[in-house]
Amino acid sequence: MTSIQEMFDVKEQLSKNLSIPHVLALPKIKKIVINAGIGKQKEDNKAIEKIKKDMSLLSGQMPVVKNAKKAIASFKIREGMPVGLTVTLRKEKMREFYDRLVNIAMPRIKDFRGFSRKSFDGRGNITIGIKDHIIFPEISVENVENIFGFDITIATSAKDDIQGYELLKLMNFPFYN
């Protein structure tokens, strides 16, 4: 297993692959955003606190509770109700989370073959969905009452999907096509 610094130091190979000579023009990961919806537990404050605690364990910082901006009667959501949690990781915490995600958590996903190249958004950013938060080793399975899923968005400074794909491929991100 490579160290975090080695994984993030792919400048020379990326420069060759993309034929970008200047180091500052190379794409890099700017931030990682983790979003979790509360779903059916929106009225249960204990469940929200447990989800918040688990997200803070796996991200290394406290998540922000996002409230509904307007009422939606069909979903039984009133304005100001909590609807989700979000965490934005940058710099060292981002690097540590990425390392744990790629090298520890993803291999623990059942029947995992990799993520599709079609998950990119057209600007070099990728969003992936994780169904079970218990794939992270920080989460003790014995203490978990509700298993929740979340989305991870890896925002890069790439200009297009090709640059984003090359960057993440060199950083050991698993793709299947």
Place 76 in a pLDDT band, splitting at 50, 70 and 90.
confident
Mind listing the pLDDT tens digit for each residue in 119-177? 888 888 999 888 887 788 887 777 777 788 889 999 999 998 889 999 988 888 888 86
Longest dimension (CA), the chain: 55
| Backbone dihedral angles phi then psi of residue 88, each to the nearest 5 degrees | -115, 120
Please give the average per-residue pLDDT across 91-99, as a whole number: 91
Is 10 in contact with 27 (CB distance < 8 Å)? no
CA dihedral for 113, 114, 115, 118, sign (positive or negative): negative
Going along the chain from its start, the domains and CATH numbers come out as 30-156 (3.30.1440.10)
**Residue 158, CA distances (Å) to 11, 120, 123 in order:** 13, 11, 7
Place 20 in a pLDDT band, splitting at 50, 70 and 90.
confident
pTM of the model: 0.84
pLDDT value of position 177: 65
pLDDT value of position 31: 94
pLDDT value of position 94: 92
